[in-house]
Amino acid sequence: MKVLVVGAGAVGGYFGARLAEKGEDVTFLVREKRAHLLNEQGLQVKSIHGDYHFYPHIMIAGDKKESFDLILLSVKAYHLKKVIEDLSPFVGDQTLIMPLLNGFSHLDMLQERFSEERVIGGLCFIESTVDQNGAIVQTSPIHELVYGALNNEQNKAVEKLEALFAGSNAEIRKSERILTDMWHKYMFISGLSGVTTLFRSPIGPIRENEFGLNAAQKLFYEIGSIMRAEGAPIAAGIEDIQLEKIHNMTHGMKSSMQRDMEKMTEIEADHLQGYLLKLAEKHEVETPVLSMVYANLKIYEKNR
């Protein structure tokens, strides 16, 4: 299968490199600056699961028209509109697009542009970053990618991906309940990023403070109420499961959104918390903590 990875960053770059390491036909769609760096020094993965260095096949948007079997999409939500236009020449009649973005609003955009048939479900769990030299650094035991069909019509096409991913040096698996998995991760990411950005703190001091912990609990239950009102297929008691994860995290754990704020870069406030607030308004769900979280994020964006 021919695979196109959009970008060569901490997520797409990592999983794309693991497929290339296995010997799969992988191309990276990158910007000119990144293309120059990759041509000059290759793509370096530094991981506790094994290092890998290679010179990848790369393309720049507008280079040529060529269809791919799978497009792996892991860009930030605020870049998605531009990326969709860049992708158009590479989407054929049989192409599957696997977005690894958190949340759900991106599915509407992708399905509207490329059809429901083309867009499948996906998510990942990985702690990775790109260092100052352009290398992908991955230091945690978790490097998991989960994918699955969003409807029954996609089952046969999605089954073909199992051979593509089998044997790669990463935990890649097909889920029979990908929508549930995606909603659960959406809840976790929105809650974790919400409290860590609200208090400008790693999770440890927040959960050790009575009022901080109370805010986290209320936030997760507000998010759960919104999702149930929307009819999301989430599990009973999922809020407590998510809070247990919070308690098991290392003291200094920060959300990626918090790290972005510390670097004064763009954030996905509208894509994550903002989308939840639209659903809350639609279903008349009260969200005092989530509203405070969102206000904090929007004030940051205005002052940035």
Alpha carbons within 13 angstroms on the beta-carbon side of residue 39 total 11
Helix axes of 288-303 and 210-230: crossing angle, nearest 10 degrees: 100
Torsions phi, psi for 77 (to 5 deg): -60, -35
DSSP conformation letters of 78-115? GGHHHHHHHHGGGEEEEEEEEE--SSSHHHHHHHHHH-
Q: What's the rounded Cα separation, in Å, for the pair 124 and 127?
A: 10
What are the residues facing 4 on neighbouring strands?
27, 71
Alpha carbons within 13 angstroms on the beta-carbon side of residue 194 total 34
- Greatest CA separation found in the chain? 57
Q: What's the rounded Cα separation, in Å, for the pair 202 and 192?
A: 10
Torsions phi, psi for 283 (to 5 deg): -105, 5
Contact 50, 169 (CB under 8 A): yes
Residue with tokens 């805010």: 215
Residues with a known catalytic role: 185
Q: What's the rounded Cα separation, in Å, for the pair 264 and 301?
A: 9
SS3 sequence of 173-226: EECCCHHHHHHHHHHHHHHHHHHHHHHCCCHHHHHHCHHHHHHHHHHHHHHHHH
Contact 106, 83 (CB under 8 A): no
